Amino acid sequence: MMAISLGQQKFVLWNPAIRKSVGIRVPYMSHKPIENLCDIEVHDAFGFGVCPVAFDLTIIKIRCIHYKRNRRRNDKAIVNVPWKVQVFTLSTGTWSILSTNLPRESVRPRGAQVVIDRFIYWVAYEVGRSEPNLLIMFDLTAKELKEINLTDSFTNRRCSIESISKLRESLVLLEYHLEEDVSVGCLWMMKEQGVSRSSFTKMYTIKLPDATIHHILGFRKTGDLIMETIPNYEKYGEVQIYKQNYEYADNLGIDGEDNSFFMCSYVESLLLLDKSDGYIYLPIVRT
């Protein structure tokens, strides 16, 4: 099952196992201008997963907005507004609005999602800080969003969370920092899923003398890490496999623009079997 966003106006859900797809129109999210504020910045994030309890396909749309103060006063202060969150469930065919217990207004999710059991995870950052330094979690069963407070070395401002992935139904996090001007990547595995304050176990450290780890693409069945790296002094990305037992990175010879590589797991299902192929769901919001 795949979810594809088309210009933030429609999702196409496709099940290649039964060769059926449906379209889901996304409701328009309005935002009113605030007096004496300018330079609006809108950040959208999407999530997609299937609730393992109700077996209900779910889409979540998150909109984060912040403004800069009046430019004439040369005021660079940022004003954040509350998140706007909408959730679509295939069982109802409609969208609902989440308005309580939302993450802080200054938090922004970033990058690709990871789904583990009933939870969707994103890396996130706070406005004013460019490096991701926390996680956001959406519970597909309870339909709740939470921040995950990171502890241990992640609280060090010199550390940055580059990306997250999934290994044997556990969340894996790539943390990046510098040691004597050498790029160092550390893989950490979450001990317990779905809790607001979680600790991680360090798996291993990766040091590449000629490149920087950009993000995790996934893992082989053997547990070897598949990653995108950026060669030193270059702007293009490469796909490499890090063999933990040998502490060696094997370049697969696949090059491209940075952030252009993507991998995900695929599990066959019968979702959409009872739906008409090509059906379009209208952007109806349930109040």
Quote the pLDDT of residue 179. 75
The tally of domains found in the chain comes to 2
User: Is residue 166 domain-shared with residue 186, that is, in the same domain?
Assistant: yes
Q: Give domain status of residue 11, yes or no.
A: no
Quote the pLDDT of residue 258. 83
User: Is residue 164 domain-shared with residue 243, that is, in the same domain?
Assistant: yes
pTM for this structure? 0.87
User: Is residue 55 domain-shared with residue 168, that is, in the same domain?
Assistant: no
The torsion region of residue 260 among left (phi > 0), alpha (psi -120 to 50) and beta comes to alpha
* C-alpha to C-alpha distances, 76 to 38, 41, 176, 213, 287, nearest whole angstrom: 10, 14, 29, 33, 37
Q: Give domain status of residue 278, yes or no.
A: no
Closest to 284 (Cα-Cα) out of 3, 83, 12, 96: 96
User: Is residue 155 domain-shared with residue 257, that is, in the same domain?
Assistant: yes
User: Is residue 185 domain-shared with residue 137, that is, in the same domain?
Assistant: no
User: Is residue 36 domain-shared with residue 137, that is, in the same domain?
Assistant: yes
Out of 114, 132, 149, pick the residue that ends a domain: 149
User: Is residue 102 domain-shared with residue 216, that is, in the same domain?
Assistant: no
**DSSP-assigned letter for residue 100:** S
Q: Give domain status of residue 15, yes or no.
A: no
User: Is residue 72 domain-shared with residue 170, that is, in the same domain?
Assistant: no
User: Is residue 144 domain-shared with residue 34, that is, in the same domain?
Assistant: yes
* Phi, psi dihedral angles at 154 (to 5 degrees): -70, -15
The C-alpha atoms of residue 66 and residue 73 are separated, in whole angstroms, by 18
Q: What is the pLDDT along the chain (287 residues), one digit of tens a residue?
A: 555 544 557 889 999 999 999 999 999 887 766 666 667 788 889 999 999 999 999 999 999 988 876 555 555 577 888 899 999 999 999 999 998 889 999 899 988 899 999 999 999 888 776 666 789 999 999 999 999 877 766 766 677 787 899 998 899 998 887 777 777 888 999 988 877 767 788 899 988 888 888 889 999 988 899 999 988 888 889 999 998 888 888 999 999 988 888 887 778 888 899 999 999 999 989 87
Q: Give domain status of residue 234, yes or no.
A: yes
Q: Give domain status of residue 277, yes or no.
A: no
Quote the pLDDT of residue 80. 84
* Three state DSSP letters for 36-90: CEEEEEEEEEEEEEECCCCCCEEEEEEEEEEEEECHHHCCCCEEEEEEEEEEEEC
User: Is residue 135 domain-shared with residue 173, that is, in the same domain?
Assistant: no
User: Is residue 143 domain-shared with residue 160, that is, in the same domain?
Assistant: no
Output b/e per residue, 197-227; b: 16+ Cβ within 10 A.
ebebeebeebebeebbbbbbbbbeeeebbbb
> Which range of residues forms the domain containing residue 127?
27-149
Q: Give domain status of residue 19, yes or no.
A: no
User: Is residue 61 domain-shared with residue 45, that is, in the same domain?
Assistant: yes
Quote the pLDDT of residue 129. 67
